[in-house]
Amino acid sequence: MEQEWIWNLIAKKLSGESTQEELQELEVFLRSNPDLHYSMQTIIDLWNSEYESGPGHENTHQAFTKHIERMKKSGIDFPSGTEHNYPTYSSAYSEISSNSRRKSNILLALGSVVVFAGILFLGLKIFGSNNQVKQSADPEKNTISEISTKNGSKTTLTLPDGTIVKLNAGSKISYDDKVYGSSLREVNLTGEAFFDVVKNPEKPFVIHTGKINIRVLGTAFNVKSYPGEKNTETSLIRGSLEVTVKDRPSEKYILKPNEKLIVANDETVKISATIKRAEKQPTVQEPIVALKHLTYEPKDSTIVETSWVENKLIFQDQNFKDLATQLERWYGVKINFQDPEQEEMRFTGIFQNETIQQALEALKLSNRFSYTISGNQVTILK
Amino acid sequence: MIAADRVLYLQMRIARFDDQHAYKELFTSFYSYLFQFAFSFVKSQESAEEVVSDVFIKIWEKRKALEKINNLKVYLYVATKNNAFNYIDKQKRNATNSIDDFPAEFASRYFDPEQLLITADMLALIEDAINNLPPRCRAIFKLIKEDNLKYKEVAEILNISVKTVENQLAIALRKIGSAVSFDIKKTISSPVNHP
């Protein structure tokens, strides 16, 4: 009987059906049976592994074409080109929140009053359960689409021109539906995102962050611009792009693939802006603008700067304080230190499918500390 | 699997604006899952395609009433199952439409040993364990793991109790677990210590 009990708990955890109590119960059980961790991890990995051979995109699209043909053959009206014939007037403000079914029902119940003005939004896909899409629509004013992620969740969206944006945890991107793509493709970003921009030389793609503006034609790159962090980082994977620092519009930095531009957010350290191509530069103070190479993870040469896109959290000789900030975003927890000295411990490693407990257990192996978890509060103890 | 709120949004777009983009997104989001579900009953690729296609034809034809459907995801699975049963009836292949007749298909390329950091031997054991699950048990495992359905939804789709879903999934995991020598029995004899 007890066997079924524990397997029930494991099943519920994996399928996301557990209550808080059941999760704790399982954790207590596993803690007292540390020899089970390996097998448990294998089961978790197994559960999380992707369905490899399922019909892919292509098959599905073929199936859809076939389906439409079948439909037409049996005389069902599916006129092509009606997709743009919806009203584009709206006076309401609407919100879709993935974690609130009720709200959405209310939204639907608003009926014909609410019309989604930014129909460009159609291309938008929401994954995960904690992400928000807001659209404010007013026929006289602008139509702003805003997509944000909470800590612990990521999302992928497709902009009206087909540009793909992967939005990391705790980030926000917004753009004006009306203006987007008219002459420029402009978006605002807070936090971190990976962009794969559709090439269109006539309509440059421009990203505004708190500190810098980035202008591109068609390329793939990562921008990290979290409020409260020391630097804004732009990492280029392919193509080319141009960065201007907002308070120094005369200076332009052109990036080549494999380079990243680091701009200090805090200008208390005033050093003349110099581009430093050397990596080993023994900097006493971070320069305001620095050009570096992207960092590769030695084992499998994953690019560290964009590893989050593949769900990897990579850190190399990072202090605990900065790592904690990353962990907070990654897992949607809050981490507090009892002893400020501990913030200076340094860690190197990769997390992929680990739970916060497993992550902390792994960190404990290289540096001595203990911790408590209660709800989403993690305390690092002395 | 597509987020529940996205489904609601698509549902609304199709019902109110005859939105073909939304219809296409709905189709492509569910097709592979429903196809496999249908296939597990009708056991023919062509028939499974038709079964799912018929489900979506009805969705388009009845789109004006689409918003009356409470949980479209569950509806799609149930409609697929019913269509598949009708199809089988028509073919007179099988008079008993028991759930035990359907094996949820698992391709052998399913798991990537490198990704899982396990040996090929162990992988074979795991796949063996999955393939030897009773059909219903395997189907439930698949619907929850691959199709990301909730216990309640699986219960509704297969017309069984939530408790049965819960137990069947536990059985599936126990059997797979024993393949990776996650031997609970051995360890459970020692009392659980609360630290």
Say yes or no for a CB contact (<8 Å) between A126 and B31: no
Residue A295 lies in a domain: no
Residue A279 lies in a domain: no
Instruction: Report the pLDDT averaged over residues A105-115.
Output: 31
**Which domain CATH number covers A147?**
2.60.120.1440
Phi-psi region of A115 (alpha: psi -120 to 50; beta: other; left: phi over 0): beta
Inter-axis angle of helices A37-48 and A2-15, nearest 10:
40
The share of chain B scoring above pLDDT 90, in percent, equals 32
Distances, alpha carbon A375 to alpha carbons A24, A26, A354, A356, in Å: 10, 15, 17, 11
Q: What is the pLDDT of residues A78-100, one digit of tens each?
A: 865 443 333 322 222 223 333 33
- The answer to whether residues A90 and A197 belong to one domain is yes
Q: Which domains does chain B have, with CATH numbers?
A: 4-97 (1.10.1740.10), 101-188 (1.10.10.10)
- The answer to whether residues A27 and A133 belong to one domain is no
Q: In angstroms, what is the C-alpha Rg of chain A?
A: 24
Structure tokens at A331: 């897992």
For residue B28, give the chain A residue with the closest CA.
A60
The secondary structure of chain B as a DSSP string is ---HHHHHHHHHHHHHH--HHHHHHHHHHHHHHHHHHHHHHH--HHHHHHHHHHHHHHHHHTGGGGGG-S-HHHHHHHHHHHHHHHHHHHHTS-S---GGG-PPP--TT---HHHHT--HHHHHHHHHHHHTS-HHHHHHHHHHHTS---HHHHHHHHT--HHHHHHHHHHHHHHHHHHTT--HHHHHTSPPP--
- Residue A243's DSSP bridge partners are A214, A253
Structure tokens at B27: 């189709």
Compute the mean pLDDT over every residue in chain A, rounded to the nearest whole number.
73
Q: Above 60 in pLDDT, residue B192?
A: no
Mutate to test the interface with A, among B12, B13, B14, B17 (most CBs of A within 10 A): B17
Residues of A in contact with B171 (CB under 8 A): 7
Q: Above 80 in pLDDT, residue A53?
A: no
Q: Above 50 in pLDDT, residue A228?
A: yes
- The answer to whether residues A248 and A107 belong to one domain is yes
Q: What confidence score (pLDDT) does residue B54 get?
A: 95
**Is B66 within 8 Å of B14 (Cβ atoms)?**
yes
- The answer to whether residues A92 and A215 belong to one domain is yes
The share of chain B scoring above pLDDT 70, in percent, equals 75
pLDDT top residue among A222 and A101: A222
Q: What confidence score (pLDDT) does residue A133 get?
A: 56
Could you identify the residue written with the tokens 């020692």?
A: B190
| Domain span including residue A105 | 81-258
Kindly give, in sequence order, each residue whose CB lies less than 8 Å from that of residue A269, ignoring residues fewer than 6 positions away. A285, A286, A288
Beta carbons within 10 angstroms of residue A246's beta carbon: 12
Domain boundary among the residues A215, A240, A258 is at A258
CB of A66 within 8 Å of a chain B CB? The answer is yes
pLDDT top residue among A349 and B125: A349
**Is A195 within 8 Å of A158 (Cβ atoms)?**
no
Q: What confidence score (pLDDT) does residue A67 get?
A: 93
- The answer to whether residues A124 and A225 belong to one domain is yes
Q: Is the pTM of this model over 0.90?
A: no
pLDDT top residue among B184 and A252: A252
Closest Cα to residue A241, out of A217, A210, A265? A217
Q: What confidence score (pLDDT) does residue B27 get?
A: 94
pLDDT top residue among A72 and B97: A72
- The answer to whether residues A177 and A242 belong to one domain is yes
Q: How many domains does chain A have?
A: 3
- The answer to whether residues A37 and A90 belong to one domain is no
Burial class (CB in 10 A: 0-12, 13-18, 19+), A207: buried
Q: What is the pLDDT of residues B66-82, one digit of tens each?
A: 988 989 999 999 999 99
Q: What confidence score (pLDDT) does residue A129 get?
A: 37
- The answer to whether residues A164 and A93 belong to one domain is yes
User: Residue A213: in which H helix or E strand, if any?
Assistant: strand A212-216
Residues of B in contact with A3 (CB under 8 A): 174, 184-185, 188
**Is A327 within 8 Å of A333 (Cβ atoms)?**
yes
CA B10 to CA A114: how far, in whole Å? 15
CA B31 to CA A223: how far, in whole Å? 35
Q: What confidence score (pLDDT) does residue B107 get?
A: 40
- Asked which of A120-124, B49-53, B77-81 is least confident by mean pLDDT, the reply is A120-124
Residue A179 lies in a domain: yes
For residue A31, give the chain B residue with the closest CA.
B195
CA A261 to CA A141: how far, in whole Å? 36
CA A97 to CA A99: how far, in whole Å? 6
The DSSP bridge pattern shows strands A205-208 and A185-196 to be parallel
Domain boundary among the residues A196, A226, A258 is at A258
Beta carbons within 10 angstroms of residue A289's beta carbon: 23
Distances, alpha carbon A16 to alpha carbons A20, A93, A129, in Å: 11, 32, 12
- The answer to whether residues A21 and A146 belong to one domain is no
Instruction: Report the pLDDT averaged over residues A227-247.
Output: 85
- The answer to whether residues A100 and A236 belong to one domain is yes
Among candidates A49, A67, A96 on the partner chain, residue whose Cβ is nearest the Cβ of B53: A67
- Asked which of A209-218, B100-109, B182-191 is least confident by mean pLDDT, the reply is B182-191
Residue A280 lies in a domain: no
User: Residue A6: in which H helix or E strand, if any?
Assistant: helix A2-15
- The answer to whether residues A24 and A110 belong to one domain is no
The amino acid sitting at A140 is E
Could you identify the residue written with the tokens 């897992």?
A: A331
Q: What is the pLDDT of residues A251-283, one digit of tens each?
A: 788 888 888 888 887 654 433 334 444 444 444
**Which domain CATH number covers A328?**
3.55.50.30
Residues of A (5-24) whose Cβ lies below 8 Å from B: 6-8, 10-12, 14-15, 17
Say yes or no for a CB contact (<8 Å) between A105 and B8: yes
CB of A33 within 8 Å of a chain B CB? The answer is yes
pLDDT top residue among A54 and A45: A45
User: Residue A45: in which H helix or E strand, if any?
Assistant: helix A37-48
- The answer to whether residues A91 and A219 belong to one domain is yes
Residue A118 lies in a domain: yes
Residue A7 lies in a domain: yes
Q: Above 70 in pLDDT, residue A173?
A: yes
The secondary structure of A314-382 as a DSSP string is EEEEEEHHHHHHHHHHHHT-EEEESSGGGGG-EEEEEESS--HHHHHHHHHHHS--EEEEETTEEEEE-
